Every structure is written in structure tokens, then in C-alpha cells.
Chains A and B, each alone.
Chain A
Amino acid sequence: MRPSLIAGITLCLCLALTGRAAPLRVSIAYEVGNLTPYTPALPETLLDLVYDKLVAPSPYLGNAKPWLATSIVPEGSDGRTWRIGLRDGVRWHDGKPFTSDDVVFTLRYYRDGTPNRWTHHVSETPKLTTIEPIDRLSLRISCAGPCPLFDRVTAADLVILPKHLWQSVKKPNLYRGPLIGTGPYRVKELAPGRYLRLQANHDYFGGVPRVDDIIISFIRNPSTAFAALSAGELDLVAAPVLPELTASLSRRPGLALVHDDNGGVNAVEMRLNFDRPPMSDPAFRRALAMAISPAEIVQRVLLGQGTTGPYPAPASPWTKPGIRQLGDDRATAAKLFRAMGKLPHLSLKVSSNEPLHQRAAEVVVHQLKEAGLDVSVENVDPARSRALSVTRQFDLLIADVTPHNLADPDQLMESVLYGYLWRYGVSYPALEALVRDWHAASTPQARIEAGFALQELHSKAPVTLILYYPRARYAYRPAAYDHWRVTPGMGVFNKWSLLESSAQ
């Protein structure tokens, strides 16, 4: 027998015996240029495949359980100090042991170093004043004010970095060192512009991942991604199925859809710029909210594949039960607008790369016109849309709103203080009193109640209107992998889909 034939048969036998299958092929809608907390626009679900947090899965549903930590317990009764115990035996992907030094280093690095998307949760809300190790596997933190939700929110927000690799990094956005975490997957290869290849971490403390090898391709155009899935070139498209493709993909042999039954914590909103008249007038904002019928938007734009709801997300335990968004009362809105006299023409900004947002904008303009308000849609490129949103140069603006803004109780305070829901310094006495109450709340329940009061106040004269909560569906190939499950706020492609159910 020829040597090459013998080698081939041996390889096949080895693969069969070890159970190694072909790589799982997944597409995501953005390019991964690096994989650290300082990589801009990188979703935390991808970060979570390589790194871990102290508690998991997320801060959004109030169900975070110890993960890298074994316990996070309050010390004293003022809600400011916490003692954190850590798992023993955890190792970084390069074999170095994980200790309290890594956690202390990470929290200090986030607090004192270059800001990223997460750092304000240790430098501002809450502000950590003391971060000190107690021994190899425990540490203590203290906050400047009460931080009664540290164990379920803050600790669930931040991924932990290896001190031995990051301690000398002065420019974290330019970090090009090894991508080492404690997570269920190691980075095997990052091919620029093409794909990211992950290899299972067989020593993972959360159990050996179900899939050994994952190739993640970067496909921005959703039509291409779903075509590749239909052609058998992919096993999962990690982006939600476009509403108009749901029916055809669900009928396609070899494909299946998984959807979120728990209610979403992602939404599309219309922001009202409270810095500009007439949106600065609470009465105008109320009338505008009344003129909008989100149910019609869900039908026309999402083809019924979504729900309506208020801000913040009704599925979140941090949201006041029974809170409602004004709406569906165009006749009253029209009367109120008429009573306000001549109102200026308003512009509704929408990003040019978001077709669903553009469709929603057209329905909104139609609804507002029926109530007597003159609004026109202005398409802007995505970079400009982001800049206008942050610098508040818009009348009305449609955008995605993330779980971070919809279901994170600490972020609620950031939103009130720094321009999303209000800006501290713009006079609003009722709000200022509630902000003081929120900061003073030293028990979890008191903090949650203080958050409810802020939400209630916002709902009376909203500066953001939720147009819809999409009921996200994800298309995949069951023959390749059939354990996908949607985690609210994290989609389907996350570590919980790839670990045994018992891990969670």
C-alpha cells in the first residue's frame, strides 16, 4: 500500500476517534481587527468568548451569578465596600495562574488609564476609590458613594485582563500583543479582513466547549451572509434575519431559525433633542409621543416581527413594572400641536446604512404629518449620524439602542447626567432631586426604587421614544450545530450557546 494512502487512512481514523469535526462556520456583520476591551465597536459577546467577567452572563437581567468570582459580599452597611473571592485553579490561555493581582490590576487600569466603552463603570458610576488585594484569591473594593449593585451590575460589566501582559501597555488602543484571556476559546488565527479562528480551551473552568474549532467570517452585507448560509458555506449568521427573509429561510431545507422568547433588550428609538426648541418644551415632547403609533411601525417595518414597549426595556428587572410610553393618540396630539401655534419644520436624521430605520422614519413622518407636524427625513452617512448623535446636532434622530442603555441600572444614571436622557446642568429640579436620591440609595432595593422614579419621570415627557423591540430570529444549519440559544442582549452567538447548559 502506498505511504500517502496509509497516512490518509490513519488521519481519518484519528479524526473519527477524537470526534474532531469540521470547523463551525459563523459570520458576523463587522470586522474584527483586534480582540481586546479597547478594540472599538467590538461587541462584548465576542469578547466574552476569549475573556471572562467576575460574574455572568450580563448585568441586564439581574441574574448574574459568580463566574471568575466565587463570592462578592458586602462589608459594612453603607453599601460602599465589597469583598470579592476568586476561583482557584483558573489559568490564562498561556498557562499563567489567574489571581487577585489580575483583578486588582484590571480595575485600576480601567479606572486610571485610557477610557474605553466600559471604564466609566469603575471611574464614574460607581467610582472605585479603593482596590486592594487581600490574598492570592481575594480582594476588596470600595466606592466613593454607595454601590449596592456592584455584585450584579458592575462586576458583570467588565472583562478581566492578564496583568503580566498588560501592565506595561501605555497605549491600549494600539495593543498588538498576544490575545490571552481565561475564556472558553483561544485565538488561533486572526486573518486581516477575512476571518477570526478560535480554538476551544479544553482546560476551561466552565467546562469544555461543545465546539472545538470556529471560523468567524466578516460579512457586512446581510444579503450576502444569508445567501452564503443558503449555499451551505456557513453554519450560522450571527446577525438577526431580515424580516423579509424570515419566511423563505424558514422554508429552506437544511436550515432552522432560533428566536428570543424572553423579550428583547435591544430596540430602535427616536431621540428628541431636548437642547433645541420646541423639543425643550415637555408639553411638546408629550404631544409628539402621543402622535406616534409604534404598533403600526412594527407591522409596516418589521412585518409584525417585533413588539412595542417603553423605555427602558420591559424585559429587564431594572425597569419599573407597568411603565408605559405615551402614544397612539394622534387626535389629542393634533389638538396640542394646534394649541402651540406655529411650529417649526423639523428634521429627522437617519443613518443611510440602516434600511429598517429608514422605513421606520418614513412611517413616523407620515404619522406626525397626520397630527399636523411638518417633519422631513434626512439620510446621513453612519459616521455623521454617530457624530450628530453624540454632539447632539439633530432635532429628531433614529438609532439603535443597546442593552447597555436599555437594561443597565448604572448606565441609567450616566444617561441622565451626560446627554442621552438629560444633561446635568440643564435646569430640571425634579430630576435633580431624584438624582440625589439615587446616589444616596445604599441598599439594592433602594437603588432599584430610585431608578424606577427616574424612569417614571422620563416617561412623562420622554426624550427618547422606543419605536420597536425587534423579535430577533437567527438562521443556522442544525446539521452542523444544534445547541444555539438566545441570551437576551447577547444574541445567539455567545459563550452560553457553546457551553453545556449546566455551566450557566
Chain B
Amino acid sequence: MIRRGIGYLIVVWLGATANFLLPRLLPGSPVEFLVGEESNRLSATQRTAVLTQFGLDRPLSEQYRSYLSGLIRLDLGSSVAYGKPVLKLIAERLPWTLLLVGSSIVLALFLGFLLASVFHWAESKRTSSALMSAVIFTGSLPPFWVGMVAIAFFAVTLHWLPSYGAGIGGSVLRHAILPIATLTLGYIPSVFLVARAALEDALGEGYVALARSHGAGPARVLLRQAGPVAALPLLNQFAMSFGVLLGGTVIVETVFAYPGLGLLLYDGILALDFPLVQGVFLLLVVTVVLANIFAELAQRKLDPRLRA
């Protein structure tokens, strides 16, 4: 367990280092964003005056040391684009993204698993093929297109739901419905494919045949015998995709003007906002590591073979 913990710490350190270096490999400097085209005419002293505010005038090695020591103190520096502490910015935006991502993961896991069960339950090959085609088709739709169609239909035509934002003074849930639905639609196919394969494996096991021979019906077999076993790969799927989904909300948040982390990251990249970009990416790294630890612990709990 200790070795495993050290491994995770090394992963976080490598991730933090990559987050520090990669944004700095992009062409340009934050000065161009802060001062615009006029940055061409700045003297070296003036450029330094701009960068000093963010500690970006120091040599790279010094910036790196400061970054690592800041991590220990939970000080991620100040954002170039927003002029605020990065940690505060993340704290302002994270809840919105967690609402979207958390809800869509739960919904997609439930619906994906349900559809995979229907796939195996269906007697007719035509039904399973139709289901498979429909799910693959849904997964291939670009999220920005799904989002815009949802806005055109549910907001502009039917006036049922708001088209953008997170609401002003309430109605937070109503504003979240379309973004959550768009994210969920995009996530269902991957859950479905994993659940379908896992169920197929589980349904071929001897203990399932034994249960069937004792008179267990299809529902009982799925829910009590094959379901829990098939849930294990889904846990891995969840751990692998949580970070991807967290970072991948950029498009959905842009389409719905939703004030989440994805949009913040997008703005940070456009502004060459090194402190902000490295802060958000670090959060993604830590989230993926934590999700993996959670999945590992849950698997140990659920699968007696791993405890042995």
C-alpha cells in the first residue's frame, strides 16, 4: 500500500512538472495578452514590470521551485487573465463543472448499463442490432451540434428550458438540464460498450448457468448474478474517464455559456495564462489519481479475488 502511495505521488509530481513546462512551450508570452499589439514597443524594463506582478519574470528554475513550494502551501499563484488567485478561481468554477460532470456520469452509467442489459435481454437479433446502431450513432454526434440542436428545440421553439448560463438568483437546476443531457448523451455509448462486453463475459460464467438451472429469471440473473461482476470494469471506466470528462466539458460549457472549469481552462490557454493553466491541469491530474484510488479500493471491496 505504501509503495502504491509513493507511485501515486510520483505520478502527481510528474503531472505537475509537465503542467509547468508544457504551457511555457507555447509560442508567445502573457505580455502579449495583457498589453496587446502594443507589447511590441515595450522596453525590457517595461516587459519585466508586467511579468513581475505574476512572478513570471524570474528564471525558469526559480519559477519551478516557487511553483512546487506553492503547491505545498496550496498557493497556485495569480491568474494573468483574471488577476485573481488561481485557487480562488478554481473554487468558484469547480462546483458548476462537478454538477455537470457528476450528474452526467451517474446518468450515463445508469442508462448505459440499462441499455446493455436490454441488449442482452432482447430475444431478437434485430432489436440488439438496432440498439447497437442507435447507441453508436448517438456517440458519433459532435457535442456542439447536439447542444445547438437542443437549444434550438427546447429553448427557442418550445421555450421549456433556458438556453444559456447558470441562472441569475436561482433556477440552477433548470439551467443545468440541457448541458447535462448533452454530456450524458456523449458518454452513454462508451459505458454501453464496456457494460455490454462485461455482461457478455459474466453471462457466460458457470455460476450464471447454475443460477439459471435453479430457475432464476433473466432479471434476477442480470441484477443479482451478472450485474455486480460486470460493474467492476465500469468502475475502471469511471476512473479513467472522470478526468477526461472534467477537462472535456470545454465544448459543452462554451455552447451553453456555462461558468465551469472547462471554459476557465479555455480562457487560460488563449491568454497563455501559465499559472491558471498549470493549476487547472494539476487539478485534473489529482482528480484522475483520486478516481483511480477510489476505483482500486472499490474493486478490492467488491471482488473477493483481489482481496486474496
Contacts and interface: CB of A to CB of B under 8 A. Distances in A.
Given A115-B42, A227-B156, A405 B37 contact: yes
A39 B33 CA distance: 10
Interface string A114-131: 111100100010000000
Given A114-B49, A174-B53, A384-B28, A390 B37 contact: yes
A116 B89 CA distance: 23
B224 to A, nearest CB: 45
A228 B255 CA distance: 11
Contacts of A41: 33, 36, 271
Contact of A228 (B80, B155, B166): B155
Interface of A: 27, 31, 33-34, 38-41, 113-117, 120, 124, 171-176, 191-195, 215, 217-221, 223-225, 227-228, 230-233, 381-384, 386-391, 393, 405, 414, 417-420
B214 to A, nearest CB: 56
B93 A192 contact: yes
25 contacts: A33-B81, A33-B83, A34-B82, A34-B84, A39-B83, A40-B36, A115-B38, A115-B42, A172-B53, A173-B80, A173-B83, A193-B96, A194-B165, A218-B257, A220-B257, A224-B148, A224-B255, A225-B257, A227-B163, A231-B151, A231-B155, A231-B162, A233-B162, A383-B271, A417-B41
A41 to B, nearest CB: 7
Contacts of A219: 164-165, 257
Contacts of A419: 40-41
Given A40-B34, A233-B163, A391 B27 contact: yes
B78 interface: yes
B210 interface: no
A414 B38 contact: yes
A386 B255 contact: no
A420 B271 contact: no
Contacts of A389: 37
Most A CB within 10 A of own CB, among B33, B49, B164, B256: B164
Given A231-B151, A386-B28, A387-B272, 12 more contacts: A33-B79, A115-B42, A193-B264, A217-B164, A219-B164, A224-B163, A232-B159, A381-B270, A383-B272, A405-B37, A414-B41, A419-B41
B44 interface: no
A217 B168 CA distance: 10
Contacts of A232: 159
A389 B27 CA distance: 11
Contact of B270 (A175, A382, A393): A382
A387 B80 contact: no
Given A120-B41, A194-B166, A387 B26 contact: yes
Contacts of B139: none
A414 B166 CA distance: 43
Contacts of A175: 83
A33 B49 CA distance: 21
A230 B155 CA distance: 9
Interface of B: 26-29, 32-42, 46, 49-50, 52-54, 78-84, 89, 92-93, 96, 148, 151-152, 155-156, 159, 162-166, 168, 254-257, 259-260, 263-264, 267, 269-272
Nearest to B30: A40
Contacts of A173: 34, 50, 53-54, 80, 83
A441 B220 CA distance: 93
Contacts of A225: 164, 257
A192 B89 CA distance: 8
A193 B255 CA distance: 14
A124 B39 CA distance: 13
B95 to A, nearest CB: 11
A33 B33 CA distance: 14
Contacts of B83: 33-34, 38-39, 173-176
B80 A221 contact: no
Contacts of B35: 40, 115-117
A117 B159 CA distance: 42
A481 B80 CA distance: 36
Contacts of B28: 383-384, 386-388, 390-391
B304 to A, nearest CB: 46
Contact of B32 (A194, A228, A387, A393): A387
Contacts of A191: 168, 259
Contact of B257 (A172, A217, A420): A217
A393 B27 CA distance: 10
Contacts of A231: 151, 155-156, 159, 162-163
A432 B23 CA distance: 40
A23 to B, nearest CB: 9
A221 B257 contact: yes
B38 A40 contact: no
Given A173-B80, A383-B271, A387-B26, A193 B38 contact: no
B263 A193 contact: yes
A418 B37 CA distance: 9
A219 B151 CA distance: 14
A376 to B, nearest CB: 20
A65 to B, nearest CB: 26
Contacts of A387: 26-29, 32, 272
B27 A33 contact: no
Nearest to A219: B257
Contact of A384 (B27, B33, B93, B151): B27
Q: Which residue of A33, A39, A393, A418 has the most chain B CB atoms within 10 A of its CB atom?
A: A33
Contacts of B39: 390
B50 A388 contact: no
A291 to B, nearest CB: 26
A117 B163 contact: no
A176 B257 contact: no
B156 to A, nearest CB: 5
Report which residue of B29, B54, B255, B256 has the largest number of chain A beta carbons within 10 angstroms of its beta carbon.
Answer: B255
Q: Which 8 A-B pairs have the closest CB atoms?
A: A387-B28, A193-B259, A33-B82, A418-B41, A171-B53, A219-B257, A387-B27, A192-B92
B51 to A, nearest CB: 10
Given A34-B83, A173-B34, A383 B165 contact: no
Nearest to B152: A227
Nearest to B41: A418
A230 B49 CA distance: 46
A377 to B, nearest CB: 19
A499 B53 CA distance: 37
A443 B269 CA distance: 46
Given A174-B53, A193-B259, A386-B33, A115 B46 contact: yes
A420 B164 contact: no
A192 B53 CA distance: 22
Contacts of B254: 220-221
Greatest chain B CB density within 10 A among A34, A230, A231, A419 is at A231
Nearest to A414: B41
Nearest to B268: A383
B192 to A, nearest CB: 29
Contacts of A223: 148
- Name the residue in B37, B42, B78, B93 with the highest tally of chain A Cβ atoms < 10 Å from its Cβ: B37
A430 B260 CA distance: 54
A171 B155 CA distance: 44
Given A390-B40, A405-B37, A228 B163 contact: yes
